[in-house]
Structure 1
Amino acid sequence: MNKAALASALGSPSAFGQSQFAFMRGNAFEARVKADGGAELLRLVHEKLDAGAVPPTAGAVPDLSAVGPEGRTARTALALREATEAGVWTLLDHPLLALDVAGSPAFLEPDAVVVHPDGSWTVVEIKSFPMLDGSADAAKVGAAARQAAVYVLALERVAARLAATPEVRHTVLLVCPKDFSNLPTASAVDVRKQRSVTRRQLDRLTRIEDIADLLPEGTCFSPDLPTADLTAAVESVPATYAPECLSACELAFHCRDHSRAEGAVTSLGRSLRAELGGLTTITDVLSAAHGKSGDPTDPAVAALCRAAQLRAEALGHTTC
């Protein structure tokens, strides 16, 4: 499903995506990192992750082109096997991996995967945000670590199918511009925690077939449908909007409007929703704060009423 087209058809076009300037800057930086057969990238991998190995003088860069995503994933698996058997530094530029997500294959394209002389594999993430004095923005590093963890899981699936299972390293290399220059620098990032969390989440996902079985007969999400029919189809799938959705989903604006119309507390954030217990709407929250509803022994209700009292005292009003 093209969610961007779906959002536009619903009347809530999404601004989701990277700016053209950031996209061009990122591409230019990645090209610099991978220039000369990835010499600088392999040097950084050797320096940060495998200093005891033979220094990479001239790494191999296999051709990964093939027809269709299935062909590219097969070509990537073959290149990984050949590089592992060869025992030389090898750079796979934009390999394509497949990962089963809720019963459906998802195709993933890491920036690079490096095969070490000992046959182990390392995921490389290249980002255009700066690394100042050896450290980068924690939130951006965390997002990159979660992204790389998915690639590690997908590589482990490839490794499991090989006769001699190679090691997929759980420490990935994050490459960023140094300070305010365009010179690359790198940092090793341990993604074992993110990998474990992602694996648990994938194992708990409801399969697409099970979700489809719960939909009304004849449900269709074609953007060509009349707006009323398309809206009804989309709303037949339960969704819980939170502000975090704005950075990850093309349908976020549509779901936000729907959530605000219903007065859902989650539209103000998941952390706030967790604090309010059984109070799921803003109307319920305000009613409980003014003592008109809710169990007075409920800690959330008591805290709301106390907050309302303090506010009223500050404004010279009476409440509760």
Structure 2
Amino acid sequence: MSVVDATLRRVSASPPIPAPLRHRLAELRGPTTRPRPLDARALAALAANPGCRRRALLDGAGVDKAALAAALGSPSASGQSQFAFMRGNAFEARVTSDGGAELMRLLGVADATEFTVPDLTAAGPEGRAARTALALRDATAAGRWALLTHPLLALEVAGSPAYLEPDAIVVRPDGSWTVVEIKSFPMIDASADAAKVGAAARQAAVYVLALERVAALTEGSRVAHQVLLVCPKDFSNLPTASLVDVRKQLAVTRRQLARLTRVEEIAATLPAGATFDPGRSREELTATVESVGAAYAPECLAACELAFHCRGRARDEGAVTAVGRSLRGELGGLTTVDSVLAAARGTCGDPADPAVAALRRAATLRAEALEAAGCV
């Protein structure tokens, strides 16, 4: 057995999915539908909304959510625009140009002879993942700087491997590995949009988690929990960098992946014969989708293909989540708009409940303000 084969077995292989579960997931997708592989963006979106059983099941089963949304009559508008995609590719090409010299200069390595750029070419995702693991091992053993551009990492998700491709990984002489995330949104006066940085941190945390699996099998290595975020400086196309701590996002991602490994438990709650096959009728698909609990929030619109469907249902039910997670958290047991209004009017709710007391106080102040303005 070659070194590559041995490394592939240790690093990339995952236990096979049990036949009954594999058959059940195929039923959920539809007999002619190929499973959609999970990527870092999808896993990061799961981590951002860990309470959504619906997305956990759909992603764990490899369901094509865009096709499902179209079949439900709520086609998706999520995804990156073509302009943003092209701009991002152009900026990444600049950052990684000249053999990665521009990127390494951001880390204080000015001389191109001080670092190596291993060749990660291999056949298929399994071969690329094994080649990446070997390059990381060799660079760590050499005790010098190394830059791995577009490596491939394997992470077990729902019992099968998901292959993830970070922008780059830097190996330092001390054996530490740092994930590099290249984004095209600007960093103005050393500060970037908090929401965009948060999304980048969640995505990078997925890469860190996958990288930790490789590090566990590589002597003398450790994975840094600070990722290098590279963005355009101010309003130029010049790259600048900042370290972002992803320990919080890493913890959330671990919990969500633990939930995905129990996807069979969620599937077991579905009625017999339930399927997400886009070829089925809208009525049948709606019944199946609604049989799995969702946790909609406005943030889902930018991250999930089913967001428009879930938003429509949330509005129909008058759910407070339709206006934001933060408000939902402050209202406690008041989960619908009608119950919130009733509590504010004093017709329901426990006056000792802080949320109810705050609503009634706000209603009183509003009434007094309207009366003083002569509006009542």
Pairwise same-fold verdict (TM > 0.5): yes
Summarize deviations over 1:232-279 as a string: whole Å, max 9, x none. 111111102111211211111100001111111111111211222221
Are the equivalent residues in 1 in contact too, given 2:114–2:144 (CA < 8 A)?
no
The residue that corresponds to 2:240 in the other structure is 185
Deviation, 1:28, is 0.4
Flag the 1:297–1:196 CA change in 2: closer, same or farther, 3 A: closer
Are positions 1:224 and 2:286 aligned together? Answer: no
Q: In structure 2, what is the Cα distance between the partners aligned to 1:133 and 1:304?
A: 40
Specify whether residues 193 and 292 from structure 1 end up closer, same or farther in structure 2 by C-alpha distance, changes over 3 A only: closer
Which of 179, 193, 202 is the equivalent residue of 1:137? 193
Question: 2:183 — aligned with what?
Answer: 127
Amino acid at match of 1:17: G
Matches within 5 A, 1:173-252: 173-203=228-258, 207-252=262-307
Q: Distance in 1 between matches of 2:186 and 2:369?
A: 45
> Who is 1:61 aligned against?
117
Matched, 1:154 2:213: no
Find the aligned partners of 1:90 and 1:192 in 2 and give their Cα distance.
24
Q: 2:343 aligns with which of 288, 297, 314?
A: 288
1:289 Cα deviation after fit: 1.8
Deviation of 1:89 after TM superposition, in Å, equals 2.7
Q: Give the stretch that moved more between structures: 89-98 or 78-87.
A: 78-87
- C-alpha distance in structure 2 between counterparts of 1:272 and 1:167, whole Å: 40
* TM-score using structure 1 length: 0.89
Q: Measure, in 1, the Cα distance between the counterparts of 2:121 and 2:103.
A: 21
Q: Which residues of 2 match residues 96-135 of structure 1 at below 5 A?
A: 96-135=152-191
Whether contact under 8 Å (1:149, 1:198) holds in the other structure is yes
Other-structure match for 2:327:
272
Distance 1:301 1:189 in 2: 39
* 1:205 to 1:220, Cα distance in 2 relative to 1, 3 A: closer
For 1:292 and 1:229, the matched residues in 2 are separated by 39
Secondary structure, aligned partner of 1:221: coil
Unaligned runs of 5+ in 2: 1-62
SS in 2 for 1:7: helix
Deviates more, 1:84-93 or 1:15-24: 84-93
Q: Distance in 1 between matches of 2:97 and 2:273?
A: 52
**CA displacement, residues 1-37 of structure 1 (integer Å, 9 cap, x when unaligned):** 1111111111111111111111101100100111111
Q: Deviations over 1:89-137 (max 9, x none)?
A: 3221111112233544332211101122333211111111112233322
User: Which runs of 5 or more structure 1 residues have no equivalent in the other structure?
Assistant: none
Contact between 1:37 and 1:61, CA under 8 Å: does it hold in 2?
yes
Partner of 1:73: 129
| Alpha-carbon RMSD | 2.2
SS in 2 for 1:57: helix
Higher relative contact order (CA 8 A, sep 6+): 2
Letter in 2 for 1:33: V
Q: Is the 8 A contact 2:188 2:234 kept in 1?
A: yes
Q: Do the aligned partners of 2:69 and 2:306 also contact (CA within 8 Å) in 1?
A: yes
Question: 1:90 is matched with which residue: 146, 154, 160?
Answer: 146
